[in-house]
């Protein structure tokens, strides 16, 4: 038996090794992301970028798992954060903003991002992020991947600072062969390593390969063995110097002097970044849930991530999210709890303090190569399959537009354009699809009430006076005209119009107003509008009953009849068509055998002999005549009252109402004929009087009164055939 102490001993080693392995993956990538952001300001800020990456990884690693609720999640600086911040820094540089001011604004942007994430979590909106369209996320991530690749090309080829990626590619004479060799070695090893071994993360192997390539080249170039004025390596970090602390303190003083309108200009960028980092985090949490059969708390996780990003930015680091790569390494290395994330953050801080001298020797081309690999892996090629079908070409267009806008305008505009296009496509799809699922007449359908043959003939003749529209999807301003176009000719010709709302997902005010017009038009003609399956709770959360009541379509004096199910509505119409007056069972006179439609045209003396052989039985309302699985072989003819037949559907244990039988009908014939167990239950709806014939009595009847037995079986067979023919007709109609 596991004791708390033994469980602790079991988890601690796994959490330590998981934290160590994930730190080895997260730290180099975090340094690379930091360098990407700060080198966009100026080459002199590259060292600050490496330090910002380390501090961001440490703060995120310690704070996020401490306050979060997802076990084994690793949080660190990530590609979306680097892309957004780098694009922001480049834009400010082009505007001529001073480098120190850009660093200050980056800090405020990161902190504001954390505040927005905390607000999203506090308001309980974490679950809403999953509704962002896949096409937008795919296009955005691909755009970020391409931006990262483009930003690293100058460093990869060793071009001069400030040169754009396309100019770097078009001027091979300006390439530094040393950077190109180191970068190519890094990329090749990082891409090919996973195909050879998964024991060591490919990021680590790529960095080691880049370092070895750099040292190999340094054997023939002594200038590569010094840190001073060496553009090929990061350079000294000076993480513990007073200069860095003074810089952070000075930055905080400057933040206090910012005006409200200056902070407000950062809001849109912070909102975009907060949503992206939240998506990245929650997507990773979903993967953890799938692998470990757990369930994360999205709002709690966003509160923790927001606090971590706010702290990381305040300390001079860069924000981030729950990252997939480091988290998967953490899982595969034996991590068990959130402690593994804290271990990763603490080891990152220790590594930054103790290994700063070694990190300083990491080649810039190596970090560029690692980020190029990261950017390549972020590109989602799945949307290319959208071009294979005309039904998904427009979805590909959304992805293409998002990527294009991200590259040519900016990431904020890309996300806005993607969401806008997705909304337009959704409206187009809703408008293009029919909201009428099926249109039938009452003589093509039937209620659960099994009626006598004469009544069925009458319903078949008059059934086209009542039409049924089964509606589906969203009834809103985009589909209202199409629905009215189908209703208009029918409301001028039918006495009863049934709108079945079972498959309706949403109803807006425009659709409700149109339905009021339909109701008024029918009422002026003396016709009736009927609604069925009006649910209290639609998928969008709206109470449809309250909404239609408030809009005047339903409620007292509206003139609209509302039924729980479509079968009940059809049953009511059938009663109107046959002119039946529902009579209380207590007032009904029990029928004799000769009075039943089943035996019309038979001689009274013959039927009198049959009636003498039948048992008389009375069953109180609510009591069973028989139940599912019973083995008695009896046929029941109803003299007075009604019976409901209940049976499970599609393997469900819950019984559903499938038929009703009234005065003059019979039931129980299947088990009587095939000698099987009961496949349904018969429950008395009212007090009922029955004629009962057991199988044993019938066998005796067949031996002594063959003509009586033939009369009975002929009558039963004819009625069952009629029921079967009608059921086959309905089934064929419903499958059209």
pLDDT higher than 80, residue 431 = no
Q: On the CB side of 256, how many CA atoms lie within 13 Å of its CA?
A: 5
Predicted pLDDT of residue 618: 94
Q: How far is it, in rounded angstroms, from Cα 364 to Cα 50? A: 11
Q: In the CATH hierarchy, which top-level class contains the domain 433-578?
A: alpha beta
Question: What is the mean predicted confidence (pLDDT) over 646-651?
Answer: 74
Alpha carbon distance, N-terminus to C-terminus of the chain = 61
Chain segment 120-160, per-residue pLDDT in tens: 988 887 776 666 677 887 887 788 788 888 888 988 998 87
DSSP string, 177-207: HHHHHHHHHHHHHHHHHHHH-SSS-HHHHHH
Predicted pLDDT of residue 250: 62
pLDDT higher than 70, residue 681 = yes
Predicted pLDDT of residue 130: 60
More confident of the two residues 562 and 46:
562
Banded pLDDT at 420 (limits 50, 70, 90): confident
Q: How far is it, in rounded angstroms, from Cα 664 to Cα 109? A: 80
Predicted pLDDT of residue 249: 63
| Helical (H) or strand (E) element with 624 | strand 624-626
Predicted pLDDT of residue 20: 85
More confident of the two residues 135 and 727:
135
Predicted pLDDT of residue 3: 43
Predicted pLDDT of residue 629: 86
Q: Which residue has the tokens 């985009």?
A: 478
DSSP string, 686-720: S-EEEEEEEHHHHHHHHHH-HHHHHHHHHHHHHHH
pLDDT higher than 80, residue 542 = no
Could you tell me if 183 and 154 are in contact, meaning their C-beta atoms sit under 8 angstroms apart? no
Question: What is the mean predicted confidence (pLDDT) over 406-432?
Answer: 75
Closest CA to 35 of 158, 211, 146, 155: 155
Fold that domain 593-734 belongs to in CATH = Jelly Rolls (2.60.120)
Q: Which tokens in the block code for residue 661?
A: 């039988």
| Helical (H) or strand (E) element with 667 | strand 666-667
pLDDT higher than 70, residue 39 = yes
Predicted pLDDT of residue 653: 66
pLDDT higher than 60, residue 8 = no
Could you tell me if 158 and 179 are in contact, meaning their C-beta atoms sit under 8 angstroms apart? yes
Closest CA to 470 of 497, 439, 446, 442: 439
More confident of the two residues 322 and 200:
322
Banded pLDDT at 526 (limits 50, 70, 90): very high
pLDDT higher than 50, residue 9 = no
Banded pLDDT at 652 (limits 50, 70, 90): low
Chain segment 273-285, per-residue pLDDT in tens: 898 898 888 878 8
Question: Positive or negative, the Cα torsion across 247, 253, 255, 261?
Answer: negative
Chain segment 150-193, per-residue pLDDT in tens: 888 988 998 877 777 888 888 888 899 999 999 999 999 989 98
E runs forming strands in 39-120: 75-77
Question: What is the mean predicted confidence (pLDDT) over 673-692?
Answer: 88
Predicted pLDDT of residue 240: 47
Predicted pLDDT of residue 4: 46
In the chain, pLDDT over 70 holds for what percent of residues? 87
DSSP string, 522-574: HHHHT-EEEEE---S--TTS--HHHHHHHTTSSSTTS--EEESSHHHHHHHHH
Predicted pLDDT of residue 497: 95
Banded pLDDT at 2 (limits 50, 70, 90): very low
Predicted pLDDT of residue 433: 65
Across 102-116, 454-468, 496-510, 704-718, least confident range:
704-718
Predicted pLDDT of residue 6: 39
Q: How far is it, in rounded angstroms, from Cα 157 to Cα 53? A: 23
pLDDT higher than 50, residue 5 = no
Question: What is the mean predicted confidence (pLDDT) over 705-725?
Answer: 76
Q: Which residues of 239-256 are buried (b: 16+ CB within 10 A; e: fewer)?
A: beeeebeeeeeebeebee
Chain segment 343-372, per-residue pLDDT in tens: 999 999 888 878 777 777 888 898 888 888
Question: What is the mean predicted confidence (pLDDT) over 688-703?
Answer: 86
DSSP strand pairing (496-507 vs 466-475): parallel
Closest CA to 515 of 527, 499, 502: 499
Compute CA 560 distance to the chain's CA centroid, rounded to the nearest angstrom: 36
Question: What is the mean predicted confidence (pLDDT) over 427-442?
Answer: 78
pLDDT higher than 90, residue 516 = yes
How is the chain split into domains, by residue range? 4-234+243-380, 382-430, 433-578, 593-734
Closest CA to 530 of 574, 588, 481: 574
Say how many C-beta atoms besides its own lie within 10 A of residue 690's C-beta: 26
Could you tell me if 80 and 34 are in contact, meaning their C-beta atoms sit under 8 angstroms apart? no
pLDDT higher than 70, residue 253 = no
């Amino acid at each position: 038996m596991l004791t708390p102490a033994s469980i602790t001993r079991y988890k601690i080693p796994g959490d330590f090794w998981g934290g160590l392995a994930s730190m080895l993956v997260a730290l180099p990538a975090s340094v690379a992301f930091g360098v990407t952001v700060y080198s966009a300001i100026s080459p002199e800020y590259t060292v600050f970028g490496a330090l910002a990456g380390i501090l961001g990884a440490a703060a995120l690693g310690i704070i996020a798992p401490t306050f979060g609720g997802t076990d084994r999640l690793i949080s660190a600086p990530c590609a979306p954060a680097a892309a957004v911040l780098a694009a922001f820094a480049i834009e400010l540089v082009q505007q001529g903003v001073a480098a120190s001011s850009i660093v200050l604004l980056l800090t405020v942007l990161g902190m504001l991002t954390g505040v927005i994430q905390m607000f999203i979590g506090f308001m309980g909106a974490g679950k809403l992020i999953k509704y962002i369209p896949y096409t937008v996320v795919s296009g955005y991530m691909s755009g970020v991947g391409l931006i990262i690749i483009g930003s690293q090309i100058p460093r990869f080829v060793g071009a001069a600072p400030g040169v754009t990626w396309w100019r770097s590619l078009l001027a091979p004479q300006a390439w530094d062969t040393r950077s190109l060799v180191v970068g190519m070695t890094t990329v090749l090893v990082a891409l090919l390593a996973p195909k050879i071994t998964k024991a060591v993360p490919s990021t680590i192997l790529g960095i080691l390969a880049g370092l070895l390539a750099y040292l190999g080249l340094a054997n023939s170039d002594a200038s590569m063995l010094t840190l001073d004025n060496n553009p090929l390596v990061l350079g000294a970090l000076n993480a513990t110097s007073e200069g860095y602390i003074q810089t952070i303190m000075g930055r905080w003083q400057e933040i206090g002097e910012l005006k409200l309108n200056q902070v407000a200009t950062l809001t849109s960028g912070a909102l975009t970044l907060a949503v992206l980092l939240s998506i990245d985090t929650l997507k990773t949490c979903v993967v953890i849930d799938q692998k470990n059969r757990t369930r994360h708390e999205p709002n709690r996780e966003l509160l923790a991530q927001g606090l971590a990003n706010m702290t990381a930015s305040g300390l001079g680091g860069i924000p981030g999210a729950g990252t997939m790569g480091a988290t998967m390494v953490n899982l595969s290395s034996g991590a068990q709890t959130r402690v593994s994330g804290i271990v990763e953050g603490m080891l990152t801080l220790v590594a930054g303090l103790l290994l700063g001298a070694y990190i300083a020797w990491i080649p810039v081309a190596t970090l560029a190569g690692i980020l190029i690999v990261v950017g390549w892996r972020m590109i989602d090629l799945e949307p290319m399959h959208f071009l294979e079908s005309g039904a998904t070409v427009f979805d590909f267009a959304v992805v293409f537009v998002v990527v294009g806008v991200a590259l040519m305008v900016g990431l904020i505009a890309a996300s806005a354009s993607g969401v806008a296009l997705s909304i337009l496509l959704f409206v187009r799809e809703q408008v293009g699809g029919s909201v009428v699922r099926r249109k039938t007449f009452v003589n093509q359908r039937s209620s659960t009430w099994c009626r006598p043959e004469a009544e069925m003939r009458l319903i078949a003749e008059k059934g086209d006076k009542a039409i049924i529209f089964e509606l589906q999807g969203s009834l809103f301003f985009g589909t209202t005209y199409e629905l009215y176009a189908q209703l208009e000719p029918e409301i001028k010709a039918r006495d009863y119009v049934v709108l079945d709302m079972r498959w309706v997902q949403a109803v807006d005010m425009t659709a409700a107003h149109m339905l009021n017009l339909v109701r008024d038009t029918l009422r002026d003609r003396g016709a009736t509008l009927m609604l069925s399956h009006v649910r209290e709770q639609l998928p969008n959360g709206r109470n449809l009953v309250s909404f239609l009541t408030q809009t005047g379509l339903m409620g007292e004096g509206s003139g609209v009849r509302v039924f729980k199910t479509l079968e009940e509505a059809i049953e009511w119409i059938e009663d109107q068509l046959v002119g039946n007056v529902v009579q209380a069972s207590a007032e009904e006179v029990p029928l004799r055998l000769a009075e039943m439609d089943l035996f019309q045209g038979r001689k009274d003396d013959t039927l009198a002999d049959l009636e003498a052989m039948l048992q008389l039985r009375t069953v109180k309302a609510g009591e069973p005549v028989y139940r599912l699985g019973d083995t008695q072989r009896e046929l029941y003819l109803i003299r007075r009252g009604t019976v409901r037949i209940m049976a499970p559907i599609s393997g469900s244990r819950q019984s559903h109402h499938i038929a009703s039988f009234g005065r003059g009908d019979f039931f129980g014939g299947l088990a009587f004929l095939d000698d099987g167990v009961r496949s349904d239950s018969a429950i008395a709806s009212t007090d009922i009087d029955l004629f009962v014939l057991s199988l044993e009595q019938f066998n005796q009847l067949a031996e002594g009164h063959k003509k009586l037995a033939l009369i009975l079986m002929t009558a039963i067979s004819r009625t069952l055939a009629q029921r079967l023919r009608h059921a086959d007709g309905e089934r064929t109609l419903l499958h059209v």
